[in-house]
Structure 1
Amino acid sequence: MDYFLQINQFLKDSLFFYTIAIGMDGRYTYVSKNYDRNFGFTGGTLLGAAFSVTLHPEDIAICERVGAACFGAPGELCAATLRKHDGIGGYVTTQWEMQALFNEQGQPDGIFCIGYNITEVVTTRTRLTEIGFIQSHQVRKPLANIIGLSTMIQQESDERVQELCVMLEKSTSELDEVIKDISAKTDQ
């Protein structure tokens, strides 16, 4: 238990990490200032409240499943991604690591959790995926059509048309390479 107290002392004023402990009754037995500041929207503390008050309803089952895994693997960290109320009708996405707590007699005493907000990472990843889809499906299709048309036009006998098609084909090939490079970066 000393280790738990040392960690909490170290992180109690953190602006980035949330630390909480949940008792066997499903209520908060410890809540860091940052957790209260971000999720205790009544201006008070969440200490003593049910752990589920801050969660998206669908994520309660995740907590229950990960909590059980913690007791099944004492001493190991178990991870979960959870949505928490943002206080304005939406949710933020948080990443957590949890570990079972045991009392002096070795009996289960609760769960210790450390987490942080990953909303910006999730939002950025989602946008990059959308951009990648647009580039690979919506931009490249008309570009491929233009490349095909320039090849067909190039087969015409007019010398000036052929010169223009060569320039058009060069430009579309360069654009195609740029799109491929951007798409590759969004997949990383």
Structure 2
Amino acid sequence: MKEIIKSLQDSKYFYIIISGMDAKYAYVNQHYANEFKYIHENFAGQPYHITMHPDDRYTCEEVSKKCFANPGQLFPAIIRKHDGEGGYIYTQWEYLAMFDDDGNPEGIFCLGYNITQFVADKQNLEGAMDKIEKNSTLLSEIAFQQAHLIRAPLTNILALTAILNKRTVDDELRSICQMILESALKLDYTVKNIVENINTSEEENEV
């Protein structure tokens, strides 16, 4: 676990959180600290929920329970975080239960990244699909954004994962790398399907 933290300490894309059994921050990496410094300058010892939407505390608690009930397994969660301006950003996480040398629960390891743009594009797309016959031009623009603006950071995520995977011999870190790779590929597949569906619909409308 120490190798994982060290490898991602200076990541520009991923957040790392470790929450203790007291439901307080035990560790955050620099990217997380920088992104949410408007909430608190030093997260260590602060309640884990100070950054999130109140309704998402239940999600966090339920996913944590699944982690401890299934040691070694990763569980996903989407958590809304305060943006410092009265709104929220969307973050995608993978949770993993941590245990000490005696097998006692020690905390939760969380790896996440910002998906606000993807969520916004998805919501815009869903609204546009209801008016597909009258908004073919708008749909074409959204398809372009999905294909280019989202897949660019996805490429960075995949590249970073490959680098981490090559540089470590730690099995746990390799497991995390595989999780990142699978999540990124699923997102890439979803974007491709959205673009293909838009293009198909436009072709049908032209006929």
TM-score, with length taken from structure 2: 0.65
Greater C-alpha radius of gyration: 1
Q: Structure 1 residue runs of 4+, over 4 Å off?
A: none
Residue 20, structure 1, aligned to residue 17, structure 2? yes
Distance across 1 between alignment mates of 2:111 and 2:123: 24
Match of 2:202 among 152, 172, 181: 181
Structure 2: tracts of 5 or more residues without a match:
137-198
Match of 1:104 among 74, 84, 101: 101
Q: Residue 72 of structure 2 aligns with which residue? A: 75
Q: Residue 58 of structure 2 aligns with which residue? A: 61
Report the AA paired with residue 42 of structure 2.
Answer: T
Distance across 1 between alignment mates of 2:40 and 2:60: 25
Report the AA paired with residue 127 of structure 2.
Answer: E
Shift of 1:103: 0.5
Match of 2:92 among 95, 102, 108: 95
Report the AA paired with residue 8 of structure 1.
Answer: I
* Identical residues among aligned pairs (%): 39
Shift of 1:180: 3.1
Residue 84, structure 1, aligned to residue 84, structure 2? no
Report the AA paired with residue 31 of structure 1.
Answer: V
Secondary structure at the counterpart of residue 89 of structure 2: strand
Q: Residue 149 of structure 1 aligns with which residue? A: none
Q: Residue 128 of structure 1 aligns with which residue? A: 125
Query: How many residues are matched?
Result: 143
Deviations 1:40-84 (A, max 9, x none): 315612111100000100000000000000001100001000000
Distance across 2 between alignment mates of 1:122 and 1:91: 12
Shift of 1:15: 1.0
Task: Note the 1:31-46 alignment, pairs <5 A.
Answer: 31-42=28-39, 44-46=41-43
Secondary structure at the counterpart of residue 97 of structure 1: strand
Task: Note the 1:128-147 alignment, pairs <5 A.
Answer: 128-136=125-133
Work out whether residues 132 and 183 of structure 1, in 8 Å CA contact, stay in contact via their aligned partners in 2: no
